[in-house]
Amino acid sequence: MDLIEELKSYCDINNPVGALMLSGEWGSGKTYFIKKFIKSVKDKYVFVCISLFGIDSLDKLRVDVKKKWLEKASELDKLNGTKVLKIADSYKKVFGTIKEVLPENWQKKGEVVSSIMDLVNFVPISNRMSDKKVILVFDDLERSNISCTDLLGCINDYCENQDFNTIIIANEGKIKDSSKNELSYHEIKEKIVQRVIHFVPDYEEIVSDTIELMPLGIEYKGILRKNKQSLVKILSGEFNDSAIIERYRIENYKFGDNKKREEYQKEEKNLRKLLEQRPHNVRSFKCAIQDFERVYNKLVNAGIQDCSNWLLSFTCFMMANKAGLIWENSQYGNLFLYLDVEKLYPDVFNSNFIVNGFSEWIIHGEWNDEVITKEIQLFLKKKNAATPLEILKTHNLPEVNEEIIDEGFKDLLVEAYEGKLSLDEYILFLYNCCYSRSYDIDLPAIDWENVREGINKQIKYLINSEEKDSHSHMMIGDDSKEYFTEDEWSAYQIIKKFRDNDVWIYEKNKRLYIDLISSDLNDAFRNLSNKRYKAFSVEMESATINAFKNADNMDKNHFSGWFVGIWGQYSDIEEIDKQITTMALKKLREDLNSVMQDYKEKNKNIAAKHTQNFIKKLDDIITPESKDVPIEQ
């Protein structure tokens, strides 16, 4: 069926006996198609388009129709180079008539009745403008808040009584039937709708138009054009579902085990249901194409030139997510996040080409540039892994050939013992130990005491270096404990404790405190107050007393106030170790007292006074219940 010709044929009819309905799935491009059709015949007809989305009364609908009609009449007259004389005359007559019957105090408030909302009810509209026929287009029938009986009855008034050619755009499958006391939708449709055309999108045209008409970068459009046919396949959903189901049967059915077979049959039913829900939403597709440009630029800047697989996987995931087909489970993280997408888009979606940072952006709208950058770097590291050792440090064991394991695992153990693996690489190592049992792979003997020692070496290295353990990292859920041996689990707990307790942050801030207060007091005053600390340690106390002694009187004057700003509420901060902090504060007070006596002996009275004030403030912040905590010498 040629939809364009069908629509033209209907629009040519004089005095139609009913409306023409264009029915199709949500997001399939019905409105987009109608807009293209309108452009193609704009010289012959005038189209007045009204959205029924959220309309909750017939009065509002009628006002909307008249407003849109008047707007079109005004546009038409402007195009013809004339003024809207007839409409202007109608307004003057209507306003004059209303003004005469209004109370005197209302007559002064012409704005009450001069707005178009008040006047359009009194302005007649017709099915012709100049020499052009007026076509009414009602969109989103199923999204109206008016009952179908009333709504279609109102539309029928325009079509049957006022002789408007009327097009209705709807998704019939989503139209709710009426209450028991009203005619059903199907009953009233038979009386009002002359013909229903089922909309079948031209997906190739939609994809082409999306690529060419959207404001996108030239290079990015190039990769879209290159992958046009695959994008058409994703949007149209032209996959062999029978083959997908048959493949599932071959891989999973275990004849002879009735219980298992029943489970597989249930899963097959769920698979069929999932495949039936494969989306074709044009708006979701356009969102994917528009959003991926940001991903594309990120990938290209990172050195990834061919982004085709990334584009296709991102589009598949976006389409599935917009359709509500992504299953998130906080208990399992991203373990099952991509399973249904792989079933919906076999041979197109590849989870290797959509990092978790992109998934988070699609699902939750959170773009974390630090996380995404790290994940892309890991992807490149995995892609570029060449030696057996590099491959084992970046790949899951099921992805690796046996000869790679035989050749490289001993070298991997050496690095694990020496603390040369990153914490994520240690976790991958633990996962692969677990995989080795599932796939019956014999690994060399592992000295777990040396592994744990290696993890502690890596943690110590992180603490003492400028490297950062990113907030985005691998983890093992507590629910997976049963799959790991005691040795594997105890090794992971070292990493988990380090990360959960923010040890790295505390140690970094402790070192920063000591470095800044020992080198640049002004910088210390500016940058140390908003940091998180685990405790005021003895090392920090030593740096503090030396910094105070070396400060001039101007800095001494501000020193105690700045210090109390950091530590004054330490007893109320849950994460701070109270015992260590109190012990160090008491030592600082004792050292300050010695310094003050020295200043007095040398007649440095201003410095002595600043020191005395500092001691007094320390007395105020050291908790009474901690007065008996011994000082570490």
What are the pLDDT digits (tens) for 53-78? 888 889 899 999 999 998 888 877 66
CA nearest to 428, candidates 334, 352, 376, 491: 491
Average pLDDT over residues 311-320: 96
Q: What are residue 236's DSSP bridge partners?
A: none
Q: What are residue 197's DSSP bridge partners?
A: 22
Residue listed under structure tokens 């290209």: 300
The reported pLDDT for the residue numbered 4 is 87
SS3 label, residue 167: strand
- DSSP per position, 546-579: HHHHHS-HHHHHHHHHHHHHHHTTGGG-TTS-HH
- Rounded to an integer, what distance in angstroms lies between the CA atom of residue 512 and that of residue 518? 10
How far, in whole angstroms, is CA 236 from its chain's centroid?
A: 24
- Rounded to an integer, what distance in angstroms lies between the CA atom of residue 583 and that of residue 537? 8
- Give the pLDDT band of residue 332 (cuts 50, 70, 90): very low
**pLDDT at residue 411 is higher than 50:** yes
Across 27-31, 243-247, 260-264, which has the greatest mean pLDDT? 243-247
Average pLDDT over residues 517-539: 90
CATH for 3-200, among 3.40.50.300, 3.10.450.50, 3.40.50.1970, 3.40.50.2300? 3.40.50.300
**pLDDT at residue 140 is higher than 50:** yes
The reported pLDDT for the residue numbered 49 is 94
Please list, in sequence order, all residues whose beta carbon lies within 8 angstroms of the beta carbon of residue 35, skipping any fewer than 6 positions away.
none
pLDDT digits (tens, 9 = 90+) for 473-509: 778 888 788 889 999 999 999 999 888 777 778 888 8
SS3 label, residue 596: helix
The reported pLDDT for the residue numbered 112 is 45
The reported pLDDT for the residue numbered 370 is 86
Q: Name residue 379's amino acid.
A: F
- Rounded to an integer, what distance in angstroms lies between the CA atom of residue 392 and that of residue 386? 10
User: Is the separation of the CB atoms in 22 and 30 below 8 Å?
Assistant: yes
Q: Report the share of the chain in percent with pLDDT over 90.
A: 53
**pLDDT at residue 627 is higher than 50:** no
Mean pLDDT, the chain, whole residue set: 85
- Give the pLDDT band of residue 109 (cuts 50, 70, 90): very low
pLDDT digits (tens, 9 = 90+) for 414-443: 999 999 999 999 999 999 999 999 899 999
Tokens of 136: 């009414």
Average pLDDT over residues 238-242: 92
- Rounded to an integer, what distance in angstroms lies between the CA atom of residue 335 and that of residue 314? 17
pLDDT digits (tens, 9 = 90+) for 564-622: 999 998 888 888 889 999 999 999 999 999 999 999 999 999 999 999 999 999 999 98
The reported pLDDT for the residue numbered 82 is 47
- Give the pLDDT band of residue 84 (cuts 50, 70, 90): very low
The reported pLDDT for the residue numbered 254 is 52
The reported pLDDT for the residue numbered 354 is 92
Tokens of 20: 């023409």
- Rounded to an integer, what distance in angstroms lies between the CA atom of residue 576 and that of residue 580? 9
Extents of the domains making up the chain: 3-200, 205-239+278-370, 385-501, 504-621
- Give the pLDDT band of residue 103 (cuts 50, 70, 90): very low
The reported pLDDT for the residue numbered 189 is 82
**pLDDT at residue 113 is higher than 50:** no
Tokens of 589: 């007070």
